[in-house]
Chains A and B, each alone.
Chain A
Amino acid sequence: MNKPFFVSRTSFLALFLIILTGVFTPVFGSDEAGQKESEPVNISEVILHHVMDDHQWHFADWLVLPLPIIVYTEEKGLDIFMSSKFYDHHKEVEYNGYKLEHNHITLVESGKAVFDLSITKNVLMLLITSGLLLFVFGSAAKSAKANKGKAPKGMQSFFEPIILFVRDEIVKPNINSHHVDRFLPYMLTLFFFILFGNLLGLLPGAGNLTGNIAVTMTLAVLTFLITNFNGKKAYWGHIFWTPGVPLPLRIVILPVEIIGMFTKPFSLMIRLFVAITAGHIVLLALICLTFIFGSLIVGFGSSIIVLFINLIELLVAGIQAYVFTMFSSMYIGMAVEEGHDH
């Protein structure tokens, strides 16, 4: 009886902290603007810099976390060094024949782009998110094993309802019950990865992981691959020889169906990317109002608005995780459906 109350209290505390960050985010931002007081702030550059990937983790001008650069070129082979080598007091410099320009590393001599496997800000966010997922659900699983046949405890009791929600409300209605167990691990991982990524991305200074198109593309492609590798006869039959449609129309429908195969993951990719990135841009734009007007009152006002937008973003974080998982299970569910007449 005591423990769940404690858990809900901590989760409320966490929620409260996230809300508070909305209020204090401008404080973090003020460092950047402070130095550039004389020159006009390039708002769009600041915002894009915040939502995009970076080779270093820039919290504030006095707090920059250098990240490892891993590059490969045919000429020079594999090279690993820290990103701080590219900077000399905030000025971008060349290092070892490499040049970092607008987040792209090129060879100085030939100007050729390198194959960049660096641990960027988003890769580090990815690692943090994955580590958190492993920790949270690892300990939930541990207590599930320890509390066998007993009431759930701690982390387990907090996440079990969400896991049940994913299983019973997202996956089961869309995927035939014979296949649920096969796809459930992927769906759960997908849901919690997106949810955690979205929520962590809302923290001040955090990287915009799930609002990065590379990430959403990879997730969408995985869903696409799983969908088509598990496609049953009925699925392919529906695409190539749509049943219940007059013959001439079938030929017309064929390209539409084939395009449809690809628009599905494409919509997944775009939806998550846009929803998260747009949210971040809105938040940043509101915060930047303070520096556009250079006024304390506007700063206070926009902070209050940011607070509420942050609440909406919390909602969006959950909704997007839900939507991505739901559509993924719908596509996969359609693919594994055994043929039945229309």
Chain B
Amino acid sequence: MDLLTPGSGLIIWQLFIFVLLVLLLGKLAWKPILASLKEREESIQQALDSAESAKKEMASLKADNEILLRETREERDKILRDARTAANRIHDEAQVDAKKNADRMIEDAKSIIQTERNAALRDVKEQVAMFSIEIAEKLIKKNLSDDKTQKELANTFIKDLKLN
């Protein structure tokens, strides 16, 4: 039957053209298309990989940040605490110092006042003594111009002596 007998002419044409087609398409079509497909697949894979690694990096960065933040916070607290205690200490010391200073100053002032006072008293005493002597001198000079008065005075002294 003709339907089942392959025609020799068609076989030759088919063989020739098909082999040519394989070679031509292989060179002109499949090579660039497959290359571009492969390239695209690789670039997609690369993009996915880099996205994944970026995600990981991000996560680790976030964790780092958190640790850093926590550390910073702790440090801040510590610094604050230290500062507060230091301030307190300084404050206390200053208070003590000030008190001491004040006390000393008061003490000094007191002693100065005492010495001044003493000196002044001495001065006054001397002056009074001087005045008294002068007055006495004058009185004596005036009173002792006569004997009676001298005698009276001597008696008075004697009286006083007796009383003492």
CB-based contact A116/B37 at 8 Å: no
* Nearest CB in chain B: distance from A74 CB, A: 15
Q: Is residue B95 within 8 Å, beta carbon to beta carbon, of the partner chain?
A: no
Which chain A residue has the least Cβ–Cβ distance from B29? A137
CB-based contact B10/A123 at 8 Å: yes
CB-based contact B33/A140 at 8 Å: yes
CB-based contact A134/B21 at 8 Å: yes
Q: Which residues of B contact A122 (CB under 8 A)?
A: 10
A contact patch SS: helix
* Nearest CB in chain B: distance from A256 CB, A: 26
Most A-side CB within 10 Å, residue of B2, B11, B19, B30 = B30
CA distance A233 to B36 in the complex (A): 35
Which chain B residue has the least Cβ–Cβ distance from A114? B9
Q: Is residue A277 within 8 Å, beta carbon to beta carbon, of the partner chain?
A: yes
* Nearest CB in chain A: distance from B67 CB, A: 40
| Cross-interface CB contact of A117 among B9, B32, B34, cutoff 8 Å | B9
Q: Is residue A141 within 8 Å, beta carbon to beta carbon, of the partner chain?
A: yes
| Cross-interface CB contact of B37 among A115, A160, A186, A214, cutoff 8 Å | A160
Q: Is residue B83 within 8 Å, beta carbon to beta carbon, of the partner chain?
A: no
Q: Which residues of B contact A141 (CB under 8 A)?
A: 28-33
Known contacts A126-B13, A215-B10; is A51 also within 8 Å of B3 by CB? yes
Known contacts A145-B36, A148-B39, A149-B39; is A126 also within 8 Å of B17 by CB? yes
| Cross-interface CB contact of A163 among B3, B18, B37, cutoff 8 Å | B37
Q: Is residue B164 within 8 Å, beta carbon to beta carbon, of the partner chain?
A: no
CA distance A120 to B9 in the complex (A): 9
Which chain B residue has the least Cβ–Cβ distance from A134? B24
Q: Is residue B15 within 8 Å, beta carbon to beta carbon, of the partner chain?
A: yes
CB-based contact A127/B29 at 8 Å: no
* Nearest CB in chain B: distance from A220 CB, A: 11
B contact patch SS: helix
Q: Which residues of A contact B26 (CB under 8 A)?
A: 185-186, 189
CB-based contact B36/A148 at 8 Å: yes
- List residues 26-71 of chain A with CB under 8 A from any CB of chain B: 48, 51-53, 70
- List residues 39-75 of chain B with CB under 8 A from any CB of chain A: 39-40, 43
CB-based contact A212/B36 at 8 Å: no
CA distance A167 to B12 in the complex (A): 29
| Cross-interface CB contact of A214 among B14, B31, B33, cutoff 8 Å | B14
CB-based contact A127/B28 at 8 Å: no
Q: Is residue B8 within 8 Å, beta carbon to beta carbon, of the partner chain?
A: yes
| Cross-interface CB contact of A137 among B17, B25, B43, cutoff 8 Å | B25
Q: Is residue A144 within 8 Å, beta carbon to beta carbon, of the partner chain?
A: yes
Q: Is residue B4 within 8 Å, beta carbon to beta carbon, of the partner chain?
A: yes
CA distance A144 to B35 in the complex (A): 9
CB-based contact A189/B11 at 8 Å: no
Q: Is residue A103 within 8 Å, beta carbon to beta carbon, of the partner chain?
A: yes
A interface, CB within 8 angstroms of B = 48, 51-53, 70, 102-103, 115-120, 122-123, 126-127, 130, 133-134, 137-138, 140-141, 144-145, 147-149, 156, 159-160, 163-164, 167, 184-186, 188-189, 193, 212-215, 217-219, 222, 277
Report 16 cross-chain contacts, Cβ distance below 8 Å, ordered by A residue.
Answer: A102-B2, A103-B2, A116-B7, A126-B10, A126-B13, A133-B25, A141-B28, A141-B30, A148-B39, A163-B30, A163-B34, A186-B22, A189-B25, A189-B30, A214-B8, A217-B6
Closest 9 CB pairs of A and B: A185-B26, A137-B29, A214-B6, A214-B10, A144-B36, A218-B14, A141-B32, A141-B29, A116-B9
